[in-house]
């Protein structure tokens, strides 16, 4: 492989690497798991997966969760 070909390949790999890294920071995404649950990707290292009824129950508590966070703000850490 010539010097010129190696430089072109290096640039291609750098571009590919940048594209792959950029995909990680695109935010949250939703998928249906193999077992039929709803998985949220992008919150941490692993997805959060719950079944439909569990999500509905959790989302129904959103006001309670927000109030709890506000009441316990001094004890909670942020990332």
DSSP state of 75: T
Number of domains in the chain: 1
Identify whether 42 is part of a domain: yes
Identify whether 76 is part of a domain: no
Q: How confident is the model at residue 52 (pLDDT cuts 50, 70, 90)?
A: very high
Identify whether 33 is part of a domain: yes
Q: Which residues constitute the domain of residue 48?
A: 3-71
Range 9-16 average pLDDT: 88
Phi-psi label, residue 69: left if phi above 0, alpha if psi -120 to 50, beta otherwise: alpha
Neighbours of 49 (CB within 10 A): 17
Whole-number pLDDT of residue 31:
95
């Amino acid at each position: 492989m010539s010097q010129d070909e190696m430089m072109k390949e290096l640039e291609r790999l750098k571009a590919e690497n940048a594209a792959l890294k950029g995909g990680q920071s695109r935010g949250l995404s939703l998928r249906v798991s193999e077992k039929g649950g709803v998985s949220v990707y992008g919150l941490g290292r692993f997805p959060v997966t719950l079944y439909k009824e569990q999500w509905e129950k959790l989302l129904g508590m959103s006001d309670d969760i927000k109030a709890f966070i506000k009441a316990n703000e001094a004890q909670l850490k942020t990332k």
